[in-house]
Amino acid sequence: MRIKQAEFVTSAVKKHQYPELGLPEVAFVGRSNVGKSSIINAITNRRKLAKVSNTPGRTRLVNFFNINGGAMLVDLPGYGYAKISKTEQAAWGKIIEDYILQSPFLKRFVLLVDARHKPTADDVAMLDYFRYYQKDVLVVGTKLDKLKRNDIRKNEKIIRETLGLAPEEKVIFYSAMTRENLQQVIDTVFAGILPEDE
């Protein structure tokens, strides 16, 4: 599967601001410093499509990107950044929750976790939330390049156990620096959503 076209459509905080193109949506979510913008830019092969910031927690909107004219990639606000106020955290949580509950086109979540570390309580809570609403979820471990090769299997086991993943549920480790496993991420993220020959 190839991503031939990726365009920013709009940013939103309320349902009436969501685009009404009727395209299936894949939403990316994760902690503020997990590398969400970097993986979106790599998938779309657009260096600055999603804004990368040295300051975590800068994405405060739901950002919609049109992929190949056949699907929407949705960038959700990052969670778990300690240096913002409780009020801001609650506001961001409400934005995410509203999108999850109100978007009729949402087909899949991509939950990003740091491949180097045990998932946080926020990561576990987010996955439990998706499960409660019976959403399709793919777990992607970022920052693979910073992980020693002999630690990959051990860390995947920790991530699986912490998140309570079944054997058939996939975890893909990926590096934005080296782009290792990028094609596998693209194929899995858009499987059943975009045509295979894209």
List the CATH number of the domain containing 147. 3.40.50.300
Q: Is residue 129 part of a domain?
A: yes
Provide, rounded to the nearest whole percent, the portion of the chain with pLDDT above 90. Answer: 55
pLDDT given for residue 81 in this prediction: 57
pLDDT given for residue 89 in this prediction: 62
195 or 182, greater pLDDT: 182
Q: Is residue 73 part of a domain?
A: yes
Distance CA 10, CA 69 (A): 15
pLDDT given for residue 80 in this prediction: 65
Q: Is residue 49 part of a domain?
A: yes
Q: What is the pLDDT of residues 79-124, one digit of tens each?
A: 765 555 566 666 667 888 888 888 889 999 999 999 999 999 989 9
Q: What is the pLDDT of residues 47-68, one digit of tens each?
A: 667 664 444 444 578 899 999 9
pLDDT given for residue 29 in this prediction: 92
**pLDDT mean across residues, the chain:** 86
pLDDT given for residue 66 in this prediction: 95
Please check the confidence at residue 158 and state whether its pLDDT lies above 90. yes
Q: Is residue 1 part of a domain?
A: no
Q: Is residue 198 part of a domain?
A: no
- Range(s) of the domain holding residue 154: 6-189
The 3-state DSSP composition of the chain as helix, strand, coil percent (nearest 5) reads 35, 25, 45
Distance CA 63, CA 135 (A): 20
Q: Is residue 97 part of a domain?
A: yes
Residue 69 region, left (φ>0) first, then alpha (ψ -120 to 50), else beta? left
Q: What is the pTM of this model?
A: 0.89
Number of domains making up the chain: 1
Contact between residue 39 and residue 182 where contact means Cβ atoms under 8 Å apart:
no
